[in-house]
Amino acid sequence: MGLFDVLKQQAISALKTNGNKLGKELGDNIKNAVKNAANKSVSIEFSGIPESFEEFSSLPEAGMKTPFETAAMTVLAFCIYPKDRELSVKMLNLLRGPRPLSGMDINFIRDRFMDGKDYIPRSYFKGATPENDYQPQAPYTVVVSENPYSYDDEGYAKLYIASGGADSPRMVQLRQAKDGKWYLWEQFLLADIRQPESADPWA
């Protein structure tokens, strides 16, 4: 093999090596960009806790145009439960649309609020912590986040809301109906969290 052929082979080899490296880097950059784009968080602010169904249903977020809005409205509906169970259920049924709460669902919610755990839904407001007994200041903000797997199932969205009393965010699943709205499908917001300091004898 002549000198020219040797140099040619070396050039081709170098191109392949660097090309593969560049291709991998490009692929990694694309993957990271997609991942970061799918890590969006949306802050939804409420001036106060609604005191009636009319007030709740007239909120802009009640239009449920995005899954983020419906997830945040779910927190709001649960905050009503300790004061007015029937009103809270009515609000949740609005969010669930064509799939209202079953008797089993209602019993489950009732059981989760036993033993004075009315603070659980408040813990999802920004600034609510065990130290302040989960009493955030108005306006109340709910931060709803997505991850790279939030839309793996077509027509569904799995979003996450951080609690000031839990180490990891809790999931809310929404489903989009034919009318374009995102309805509440499943939620894990009522799992136990750390007690408020005023109720914790070891705090």
**139 pLDDT above the threshold of 70:** yes
**138 pLDDT above the threshold of 80:** yes
Q: Which domain holds residue 133?
A: 41-196
pLDDT band at residue 115 using 50, 70 and 90 as cut-offs: confident
Give a yes or no: residue 54 inside a domain. yes
Find the mean pLDDT for residues 13-42.
57
In the prediction, which pLDDT does 26 show?
46
How confident is the model over 89-103, as pLDDT tens digits?
Answer: 999 999 999 999 999
How many structural domains does the chain have? 1
pLDDT band at residue 192 using 50, 70 and 90 as cut-offs: very high
Q: What pTM was computed for the model?
A: 0.81
Are 132 and 151 a contacting pair, CB within 8 Å? Answer: no
